[in-house]
Amino acid sequence: MNDRTCIVTRKTAAPDELIRFVVGPDSSVVPDLKRNLPGRGCWVGADRATVEKAAQKNHFSRAFKRPVAVPPDLGGMVDSLLVKSTAGALGLARKAGQVVLGAAKVEAAVRSGKASLVLHAVEAAEDGVRKIAQARRATVHLGGPAIPAYKLFSQAELGLAFGATNVIHAAVLAGDAGKAVGKRMVALDRYRGGSPDDLAMLAAVAGDEDAAEDVE
């Protein structure tokens, strides 16, 4: 798809970096995350601050050239839709056998280079996160992939997505289902204004002569 223009910033970007909105039959603004709803659409930068600014500053009415009804918590609505989409992808990855749970299995998947991304529950203890981060750094230092880590879901949310209990650490493995998870995780992370916790650091490790001190 061609680049689109954000109605708030007026900057052009790829569709994956924007969110499409359409007007529903009741004249309300509707998020179109899959970009397949009929009708004329407008595009907004894919982060919550920009979506909320579009809602507050009457950008949607100007873009559609007509009065439209903006849901009172449009920013929260989009976040919930992104969470639902990401959780659904996590469940499919689990069914496809592309997920491992538990700190030990996650660390092994990271060190083998089989993990495409790591998930930590919001409640995860720093010690557990640190051990897996060391494995991620070691993997890069040895020439393996830089594996992003995200802390976007609670223990309960991860458990619900995976159909398991006490999920604190998880790894999504490489594969088609894993790629789908990665795409949705990037979108949710971007929307919340963040980025994988230390990918920049990981990318620099390979060329850092002092990195060996921090690997196991």
Q: Is residue 77 one of the residues assigned to a domain?
A: no
- Same-domain check for residues 101 and 47: no
- Same-domain check for residues 141 and 45: no
The torsion angles phi and psi of 203, rounded to 5 degrees, stand at: -65, -25
- Same-domain check for residues 111 and 156: yes
Q: Give the whole-angstrom CA distance, residue 66 versus residue 210.
A: 60
* pLDDT tens per residue across span 104-156: 999 999 999 999 999 999 999 999 999 999 999 999 999 999 999 999 999 99
Sequential DSSP letters for 32-96? ETTS--SS-EEEEESSHHHHHHHHHTTHHHHHHTS--BPPTTHHHHHHHHHHHHHHHHHHHHHHT
* pLDDT tens per residue across span 175-187: 899 999 999 999 9
- Same-domain check for residues 57 and 22: yes
- Same-domain check for residues 96 and 182: yes
Average pLDDT score, the chain: 90
Do 181 and 172 meet the contact criterion of CB atoms below 8 Å apart?
yes
Global pTM reads 0.87
* pLDDT tens per residue across span 42-68: 999 999 999 999 999 999 999 999 999
Going by pLDDT thresholds of 50, 70 and 90, the confidence category of residue 207 is very low
Residue range(s) defining the domain that contains residue 201: 83-214
pLDDT at 202 over 80: no
b/e map of 108-133 (b: 16 or more CB within 10 Å)?
ebbbeebbbbbbbbeebeeebbebbb
Give the single-character DSSP code of 148: -
10 Å CB burial of residue 145 (0-12, 13-18, 19+) is: middle
Helix axes 74-95, 176-191, angle to 10 degrees: 160
Confidence at residue 199, expressed as pLDDT on a 0 to 100 scale: 54
pLDDT at 196 over 90: no
pLDDT at 40 over 70: yes
